[in-house]
Structure 1
Amino acid sequence: MLRKEYFRLLVLGIISILSGFVTSGVAVANINDQVAQLDFATTTLSGIVTIFGEPLKYFRGSEIFTKDNLPSIYYMQYPNGFSIVMANGHINELRFESASTGYLFKGEIQIGSPLTSVLSVVGQPTQTITGQQCGWQDGILYKDINGTVGYCYYLRSDENVRFFFTSYKVIAIYLTGNTVSPPVPAMKEFDDVRSMDLSGMNLAGRNGLIETLTFNIETIWPAAARMPADCEPNELMAAAMNPGLGIREIHGRGITGAGVNVAIIDQPMYLDHPEYTGKIAAYYDTGCGGEQSSMHGPAVTSLLVGKNCGTAPGANVYFAAVPSWKQDAAYYANALNWIVAQNKALPASSKIRVVSVSAAPSGSGSPYLYNNQMWNDAVALAAADNILVLDCSSNHGFIGACWLDPNDREDVTKCVSGFPGSSSLPNLEDVLTPSSARTTAQHYDYQGRNSYIYWGRGGLSWSIPYCAGVLAMGWQIRPELTADEMVEILFSSAYTNANGAKIIDPQKFISSLTPATPEEIAVSKIRQAIAEKQKALEAIDNARQGEQTACDAVKELFAGGKSSMKKVDIIIAMQKIHSAVQHLEQSADALRKSIEKLKDALRTLGFEP
């Protein structure tokens, strides 16, 4: 059978997140008649196109192919949750993943049918295995897989069908035809083997390989005798939940980011993964078109506030979901503006301190084609509100990537700059933060189905939330520090290796944040008062300009002589506006004097304003 990428591509939502969903006019109302025309053994690509029309796309994972450049294994995506898996030029599976396809198996079973109905149509299983990992074996009903009640899998090769269930109802029907397994490619370092069946491979003696791969809980491994002796995947996945660099020791001291509000702008996600359930303070969809979850959103959230994976498991998250696949930075700007608005409504003790954005909505090399300046403007507004925005852009970003030593995750001196298997050199102006040899939450197929992914080589996307969480821990200790002050300490506490690269050092960073003295708290409060009054003064200046514009407009009524209003009324209105301007100027003068008094207070205490 084809590589079991069953759950990585199970729901069309993740497919559309990776490459964008395109609507099509291909009719599927007669899907049952169309399926009846197929012969799994003989129907080729041209025959499929004759019956169903051209697909929305040819793809495999995140790769998109043209019709004249197809690999041996690929997928054909049609509307309404219908897709075809091709292997070696023939149909391997027809996949129905939405009730809107209209497909009926044997005229009775459709998406949404209960498990009991399936068993009555295709027959009872030879064995029922409850609460354990799915073994994918023929004739066996895997029930409540991994302890998730209602999540089931049932293969009946004699009926050429596989069923997937959640809440004991069918969520996917896969018709199997070509039972000849496609060739399994030779395993290479850094391969992505999520949800694949590797049981037929022999990896014995390939020490060091497993640590480089990307895999998930659903990956099926060879028997122990055919595995490398130096690594057990489940143990590696559990170990890589640890952020390393002494962070869990810091958590043990009660420093977890508790009470600190942070924000994330990323692809959509379900909110019930155990890594972060109950930690989402607010969720805002900027326009994801019905997409409910993704690979990316759950991953970055778990790296920031995850119970097991996060650097700041005690923090709360304001999450803004964006459709990154539309390549429009306006969605990111909208998200950040929403975060700023949320922040203005929060009391001074609960402000949002940092926003994690694992994307580059502007700057050179940005993949976003539209409205980049909108993002820059939104970042400036956030900065004015003392919100630190961490992104991957070349113009705003200051975070680079490094990777943890899998055998000694706590030693910052063993972190390696850049990405595993890559010779690219880091920017010596950045703070390098771990992105590889990490485990993240996986939650993109359907609500209630929770899993994990191990990344032998992660991207810069994983560094951003890691750093945001470290900063959140800092604000738990020193909430009076500004964004600029916290970043300065982050840089000054970083470990510098022999090549001059600066690597984040959470232990030293936290030790640099000694609790504020009463004198420091008093000075900080005075400076905060000065900053707030300066903002008020700017608002008054803007209002005064508006009043002057209004006054000029009324003067024009008087001078032009074309108004039907009485001149005496116009004169009285001008006087009242003039009086309002005077009052505003008096308020501005009072604020200036108040600001100077506060600055004098700082000087008296021996501090510069």
Structure 2
Amino acid sequence: MNALAAYARGATGAGIKVAVIDTGIDLESPEFAGRIDPASANLAGAGTLDDANGHGTAVAAILAARRDGVGTHGVAFDATIIAYRAEPACTSSCFMSLAAVAEGVDRARIAGARVINLSLIADTAPTAAMRAAVDRATAAGVIVTICSGNEGRAQPQAWGGGLASDPAIARGLIILVGSVDAGGAMIASSNLAGDGADHFLSANAGACSAATPMVTGALALLAQANPGMSAAQLVAALYASARDAGAPGQDAIYGRGIVDLTAAFR
């Protein structure tokens, strides 16, 4: 990730809204104090926005946990989080409502999110409601980052891949995300770029649920540092600065490469 170069330039994510559609968020955590947007909501029809599972909180922490000199912090540690809970009351072996996810995409767009983080997977084609919501989001200039899957396959999962590969709704603003180890090798469980190489990036994390908010955070830093850039320009900057891996150039394993904020902030 190499985010120190971004921080040295004053980029922290301040003023940038990022949406996390997941299992909710820990409303009492000091990591997010004062930075959970009032548009945040439970969309699952049961329980509250508060995260009983922990997955959504972990994703939000990787993205935007505060920098206080204690432990770790998020990539864009001053960003504002719009959190949507798409999972019914559940603590293990949980499934999110795809209808709630689609609603979250619409709400995030309306609430002013610059990037929507989807650290979730589904091995089915995207629903008509999801396609329509993403279409509205990208038409409004909202970037969407989606986990590619953790099955060790040669292709991203059908749900995210189906959205990203349709140029009529993606508009070049959907990024599929894979996971690499500290040495830059694709981890065994990560789904590869495959046919989605043109819109695939990787980050150093143990699974794509964690890698995806790293890419989202990188976009938030770039957006703050370059307020005049369009969504398409932000995505292009992240692709252009990515570190090449595997075969030279774009390939079916790493896609566009590995996110490198040192290069992005030169």
Q: TM-score range by the shorter chain?
A: 0.7 to 0.9
Aligned to 1:297: 56
Q: Secondary structure at the match of 2:32?
A: coil
Q: Secondary structure at the match of 1:489?
A: helix
Is 1:340 equivalent to 2:109 in the alignment? yes
Q: Is the 8 A contact 2:178 2:192 kept in 1?
A: no
Distance 2:16 2:201 in 1: 22
Per residue, is there more strand in 1 or in 2? 1
Aligned to 2:80: 316
The offset of 1:375, in angstroms, is 0.7
Is 1:386 equivalent to 2:141 in the alignment? yes
Q: Which amino acid aligns with 1:435?
A: A
Q: Which amino acid aligns with 2:216?
A: A
Once the two structures are superposed, the pairs formed by residues 161-172 of structure 1 within 5 Å of their partners are: none
Q: Secondary structure at the match of 2:30?
A: coil
Is 1:248 equivalent to 2:9 in the alignment? no
Once the two structures are superposed, the pairs formed by residues 167-316 of structure 1 within 5 Å of their partners are: 245-282=1-38, 283-290=40-47, 292-293=50-51, 294-307=53-66, 308-316=72-80
Change (3 A) 1:290 1:498: closer
Change (3 A) 1:360 1:373: farther
Q: Give unpaired runs (5+ residues) of structure 1.
A: 1-244, 344-351, 406-413, 437-458, 512-609
The root-mean-square deviation of aligned C-alpha atoms, in Å, is: 2.3
Q: Is the 8 A contact 2:43 2:104 kept in 1?
A: yes
Out of 180, 186, 196, which is 1:403 matched to?
A: 180
Aligned to 2:115: 354
The offset of 1:474, in angstroms, is 0.5
The offset of 1:305, in angstroms, is 0.5
Q: Secondary structure at the match of 2:131?
A: helix
Change (3 A) 1:310 1:377: same
Q: Is the 8 A contact 2:22 2:56 kept in 1?
A: yes
Out of 462, 477, 484, which is 2:210 matched to?
A: 462
Q: Which amino acid aligns with 2:203?
A: T
The offset of 1:422, in angstroms, is 4.8
Change (3 A) 1:498 1:290: closer
Deviations 1:436-495 (A, max 9, x none): 2xxxxxxxxxxxxxxxxxxxxxx2111111101101110111112111111111111111
* Identity value in percent: 24
Q: Is the 8 A contact 1:399 1:433 kept in 2?
A: no
Aligned to 1:499: 247
Aligned to 2:202: 432
Q: Which amino acid aligns with 1:297?
A: G
Aligned to 2:157: none
Q: Which has the larger radius of gyration?
A: 1
Distance 1:479 1:469 in 2: 15
Distance 1:424 1:470 in 2: 21
Distance 1:375 1:257 in 2: 27
Q: Larger relative CO (CA 8 A, sep 6+): 1 or 2?
A: 2
Q: How does the TM-score come out when normalised to structure 2?
A: 0.75
Distance 1:480 1:424 in 2: 34
Q: Is the 8 A contact 1:399 1:463 kept in 2?
A: no
Distance 1:327 1:276 in 2: 23
Change (3 A) 1:382 1:499: same
Q: Secondary structure at the match of 1:476?
A: helix
Q: Secondary structure at the match of 1:398?
A: strand
Aligned to 1:376: 131
The offset of 1:416, in angstroms, is 1.6
The offset of 1:252, in angstroms, is 3.8
Distance 1:264 1:327 in 2: 13
Is 1:509 equivalent to 2:264 in the alignment? yes
Distance 2:6 2:181 in 1: 18
Q: Secondary structure at the match of 2:28?
A: coil
Once the two structures are superposed, the pairs formed by residues 108-147 of structure 1 within 5 Å of their partners are: none
Q: Which amino acid aligns with 1:385?
A: A
The offset of 1:391, in angstroms, is 1.7
Q: Is the 8 A contact 1:286 1:331 kept in 2?
A: yes
Q: Is the 8 A contact 1:318 1:339 kept in 2?
A: yes
The offset of 1:326, in angstroms, is 4.8
The offset of 1:327, in angstroms, is 4.8
Distance 1:475 1:310 in 2: 16
Distance 2:26 2:192 in 1: 36
Deviations 1:51-77 (A, max 9, x none): xxxxxxxxxxxxxxxxxxxxxxxxxxx
Q: Secondary structure at the match of 1:495?
A: coil
The offset of 1:299, in angstroms, is 0.5
Change (3 A) 1:372 1:508: same
Change (3 A) 1:479 1:496: same
Q: How does the TM-score come out when normalised to structure 1?
A: 0.34
The offset of 1:297, in angstroms, is 0.8
